[in-house]
Every structure is written in C-alpha cells, then in structure tokens.
Chain A
Amino acid sequence: MVLTGKVFKFGDNIDTDVIIPARYLVTTDPAALAEHCMEDVSATFAKEVRKGDIIVGGSNFGCGSSREQAVLAIMGCGVKVVLAESFARIFYRNCINRGLYALEVSKATLDRIFQGDAISVDLEKGEIIKEGSSEFFNFKPISDEMKRIVAAGGIIPYTRQRIAKEV
C-alpha cells in the first residue's frame, strides 16, 4: 500500500496532552476530537489538515498520558500515517490497535522532510518518495508481530476471533 499526502511537521516529545488536550476528553467521537487536535502547539493544523495528510514528528512521539483519544483525534483528521524517529510505547500500541500506521524513520530522513512537502509512503517496500524531486528514503517496515495484529484488522477483530473459539 502506498499512502500519499502533505506533510505537517512537529518536533520532539509531542505529548498526548497537546495532541488532544484533556479538556476535550468528554467525547469519544473522532470527528469532534479532531477539531482540537494539536491546537495547543498549532493554531492552524486542525483547520488545514486534509484526508490522507501525513504527520511527521521527532523522537518520543505520543509521550505522556495513555489517552487513546489522541490516536482517534489524529485519525479523525483523516491522517493514516505518522512518521517519527521514535514513539512512546502506550501511544504506539494504541496506533497498532486502532489501525493508524506509526512508522519509525531515521532522524537523517526526517531532517530532509519539510512542512508542506508532498510525500508517498510505500509500506511494503519501506520507501518514502518526495514528490516533484528524485529524493527517496528507506525505513524499516513495520515488524512481523505488529503485522499479525494489523492483518487481522486490528486488535478488535483479533479478539473477536478468539472469543468465538472459546465459547
């Protein structure tokens, strides 16, 4: 699968409190959460982001609170993939469980991807191509363990299958 979109770039240690501030955790509706996504660090992101756009972070993306609403808020914006140098562990699990691609990409690569760039991310090949240029970068494809859960359609269908077997 190849995902193509415009880049919205953020820094290191983007925490889940800024992805979706706690004051909005009174709903579980992704569309309602999306309206406030990133608003404490970017006044324009939630307004400008379009379906298919790509979030690029630095190290330790998604640190802090366990709130899964952070993943829902990002998905509610239509974002399907987040690239970062590294992810905080609870956030990473939440991404896999919810079907949001969280891809680890080297700092050298991230340094050459800029706000507003149009990029294509090839999940199978582990390749990022910058549109309108000859630049392309490789990244380590998502791990096998994670693939098994994602292949079942996320942790929910995976669990549903197991309950059916145990009854």
Chain B
Amino acid sequence: MGNTVTEKILAKAAGKKNVEVGEIIEAEIDLVMGTDVMMPLSFEIMEEIGAKRVFDREKVVVVLDHFAPAPNIKSASQARDIRENCKKFGIDHMIEVGRGGVCHTIIPDMGFAAPGEVIVGSDSHTTTYGALGAFSTGLGSTDIAVALTLGKLWFRVPPTIKVNFTGELPELIMGKDLILRLLGQIGADGARYKTLEFSGEIISRLEMDDRFTICNMGVEGGAKNAIIEPDDKTLGYLERVCKKPYDIIRSDADAAYENIIEIDCTGMEPQVACPHSPDNVSPVSEVKGIKVNQVYIGSCTNGRISDLRTAARFLKGRTVHPDVRLIVTPASQEVYLQAVREGLAEIFVEAGAAFNTPSCGACFGGHFGVIAGGEVCLSTTNRNFRGRMGSNEGMVYLASPAVAAATALSGRISDPREV
C-alpha cells in the first residue's frame, strides 16, 4: 500500500522510510512562523526554558499583523517587546508594519514556504501553505516556543480524507464557495485531527489564490493540515517567488485514505456561512435579502489580488449602498501596491469604500472594522463565531468576494450572478 503526500513529507522529516497513521514521530521543522498576538507567550516560554537563540535564523519568521498597526497602548507595548525579543533571540525575519502584511499571504508570496516542507505557525490558519504541497499546521505558543528552540517537534501522523471536486465550475464560483460547501457537509469537526487532501479536475484548474483560500479554511473543519499536490501552476508560482530548493512530493497512486469525498460542482450556487459557525452553510438563494450594515473584503482567506479584482469588477463605476459601509483591506503591501497600479484602489475609493492598510484587525475583532451589537456584517473572512468581529450581539455571514461586492451594492445579501 502506498502513502499519501502528508505521510511522505512527515516520514522524510522524521528521517524514516515510512510512517503509519497514528504513529508518533519527531519531525525536523523547515519553517516556524509567529504572529504578534502569540509571540509574547512564546518568548516568555523561551526565557523559561533557558533558550538563548532560535534554532536557525533562516527558518524563523515573525509577522506583526494582528494588532497592526497598533490600535492601543497595550498592543503597541506587546509589539515593542516583540521587536526587542526578535533581536535578542536572533530572529532576522521580523516583518514590520508597512513591509509585509497578513502572515498567511506573505509567507508564500515572500518565498518563505516551499513544497515538501514541514511548517508550523502560531496561528490556526497556517494550514494555508498546504496549497504549495507542504505539511503546514497551526500550534499554540508553547509548541511554537519549543519548535523555535529545537527545530523539532512531535506529531501524530494523521489519517487523510481526500476531497475530490468534480464536474464543471460555474462562473463566479470561487475557492471560498468550494471550501464552504465542504464545511457545510462535514461540519466543524468533520476533519478533526485529520488531513484534508484536495484533489480533482476542479482543483487543477484553480489558480493559486483560490487554492490558498481552500487550504486556509481546512482548519474550520478541524483539520490538522490541508494539502494540494504541487502541479504546473504551483511550480509557475514558485518560479516567481521562491528562491530556495525544494522537493516535489506527491501521493502514491495506491495511497490509503480514510475516506474519499466527492463534491460535484456542476450547478453549484455561491455559498454563505451563517451565524455563528463556518459550517452553518446555505446556498445564497436561501439567505439573500438579509440586510447588512457592513461588508468586509480582506483577510488571509480572501485578501489577495484576484479577490480584489473580482470585487472591483462589480464595484467599477457604481457606489456602495448608502446604508452600508464597505471596508476593503488588501492582505499585503504587495497586493496593496498592485491594486493601486491596476486602478482597483481607485475603483474602491470612488465607490465609497474604505481602502485600508494590510491588517488582520477586522477579521478577529481587533480594530479597523469592529461591529456593534445588533449589526450584520458580510465578510470574506474565515470565522463567524459569536463575538468574533466585535460585539457578541453582532451577526457575521461569510462568503466570497463576489458575494461581498454584490452585497455592498444592494445593501442586502445578494447573488453576484444576478447583479
């Protein structure tokens, strides 16, 4: 019996020929990523364990992105301490405000992540980099501190669920719709502790931006990691951004899967996750007409250039509904600059949208778009838990940038195919 791509990556990182599902292994880590909200705890723990420096300064990246730019004195103090601690522990790649953006967008785009690697991050959406064919997973601050110190960590080899997207992808159906559709089917714990391996005709036709979106939200089904085997599109992307050498690892033809899920995309409608869970999913036809107060386009899930292009197509020459505020937040400086150069920024501003500097702020209820009690927000982000974007009396709906743009124009949740 053959092995899945995840098993093969973990075996290689553990220096073994083979690993079995359920086996505990110790893997060498190729990249450790930390963010501003989780690093303060990790540095405390590094002090406690007597660590003097990180295991390899080339394999560590810290990104200031959540409370960035700092919205208050407490978070500014945390960021100040992080800058000092990065110097102290020998972390060269400290990505400053204005020079990077949201971690899960810039880690691949700046060439830090590569296929075949074992990557850990202090953020649950670290599953994103699986879109490059890496094993990539989120961890808490203690595990991150250990990984930063030793460059090794134990893992239990997860069973893999293969998800095949088949059929014909209708127009305006994006990566976001595919992952929401899956989450609606398997639930918030349907892939708990497991690997989600995305495959099939539709995936091979999707561009990298959509693949990142899909892997990003794998964790909303409880997945340990999400992964897509590298193909020509992956290699084309890496050619542009990644300078380091890497291994292309793919699943064996006779790999063993715990389960194979087939999703026929033919005739699929845009999908919307309703309050208060990303797995509470309905086709847009069942929720359209619900009035919204705010529309948010951005985040590590949907703040990439193709997301902004999609939104701009709808907003060009039109104006946001008078009762709605639209906040557009490119996920990185690079995306921001590209949006300016292509004239997308102009389209958003002329439509009456706030066009913001890259930040995780609004998505997790930090700043730059917090909602009040009784308000409804339609957001391209990844979580709509109670209180996630602000008041615990607020309501958050999750959808694609196409649905978001259509909704911003009409003031009600709308089907972009009808605009």
User: B146 near A26 (CB under 8 angstroms)?
Assistant: no
User: B146 near A65 (CB under 8 angstroms)?
Assistant: no
Task: Tell me, yes or no, whether B333 is within 8 Å of chain A by CB.
Answer: no
User: A86 near B24 (CB under 8 angstroms)?
Assistant: no
User: B38 near A66 (CB under 8 angstroms)?
Assistant: yes
Q: Please, which residue of chain B has its CB at the minimum distance from the CB of A94?
A: B140
Task: Tell me, yes or no, whether B181 is within 8 Å of chain A by CB.
Answer: no
User: B124 near A163 (CB under 8 angstroms)?
Assistant: no
A12 to chain B, nearest CB (A): 8
Interface range on chain A (Cβ under 8 Å from partner): 35 or more
**Chain A, 4-46, contact with B by CB distance < 8 Å: what is the 0/1 string?**
0000000001010110011101111000000000011100000
**Chain A, 66-105, contact with B by CB distance < 8 Å: what is the 0/1 string?**
1111011000000000000010111101100110000000
Given contacts A15-B385, A64-B383, A88-B189, contact A23 B44 (CB under 8 A): no
A71 to chain B, nearest CB (A): 7
Which one of B66, B146, B156, B392 lies within 8 Å of A159 (CB-CB)?
B146
Please measure, in the bound complex, the distance between the C-alpha atom of A69 and the C-alpha atom of B388, giving whole angstroms: 15
Task: Tell me, yes or no, whether A63 is within 8 Å of chain B by CB.
Answer: yes
Task: Tell me, yes or no, whether B237 is within 8 Å of chain A by CB.
Answer: no
Most buried by B among A64, A66, A68, A145: A66
User: A145 near B24 (CB under 8 angstroms)?
Assistant: yes
User: B277 near A89 (CB under 8 angstroms)?
Assistant: no
User: B142 near A69 (CB under 8 angstroms)?
Assistant: no
Given contacts A17-B386, A40-B392, A60-B188, contact A26 B74 (CB under 8 A): yes
User: B386 near A26 (CB under 8 angstroms)?
Assistant: no
Given contacts A26-B78, A66-B124, contact A97 B193 (CB under 8 A): no
Please measure, in the bound complex, the distance between the C-alpha atom of A97 and the C-alpha atom of B78, giving whole angstroms: 23
User: A156 near B48 (CB under 8 angstroms)?
Assistant: yes
Given contacts A17-B386, A97-B143, A160-B50, contact A23 B366 (CB under 8 A): yes
Interface range on chain B (Cβ under 8 Å from partner): 35 or more
Task: Tell me, yes or no, whether A155 is within 8 Å of chain B by CB.
Answer: yes
Which one of B24, B75, B192, B385 lies within 8 Å of A88 (CB-CB)?
B192
Chain B residues with Cβ below 8 Å from A97 are: 140, 142-143
Chain B residues with Cβ below 8 Å from A163 are: 49-51, 149-150
Which one of B48, B75, B150, B224 lies within 8 Å of A26 (CB-CB)?
B75
Task: Tell me, yes or no, whether B379 is within 8 Å of chain A by CB.
Answer: no
Which one of A25, A28, A59, A65 lies within 8 Å of B189 (CB-CB)?
A59
**Chain A, 152-164, contact with B by CB distance < 8 Å: what is the 0/1 string?**
0011100110110
User: A94 near B142 (CB under 8 angstroms)?
Assistant: yes
Q: Please, which residue of chain B has its CB at the minimum distance from the CB of A98?
A: B142
User: A26 near B72 (CB under 8 angstroms)?
Assistant: yes
CB within 8 Å of A: which B2-27 residues = 24
B306 to chain A, nearest CB (A): 26
Which one of A17, A39, A69, A91 lies within 8 Å of B41 (CB-CB)?
A69
A84 to chain B, nearest CB (A): 11
Shortest beta-carbon contacts, A-B, top 7: A26-B74, A94-B140, A68-B140, A60-B189, A40-B387, A40-B392, A97-B142
Contacts A15-B383, A60-B189, A160-B50 known; 5 new A-B pairs at CB < 8 A: A40-B392, A64-B124, A65-B383, A68-B142, A88-B192
What are 15 sample pairs from A and B whose C-beta atoms fall under 8 A apart?
A22-B66, A22-B364, A23-B365, A25-B66, A26-B78, A28-B44, A64-B124, A65-B364, A67-B140, A68-B38, A69-B41, A89-B222, A93-B140, A155-B146, A163-B49
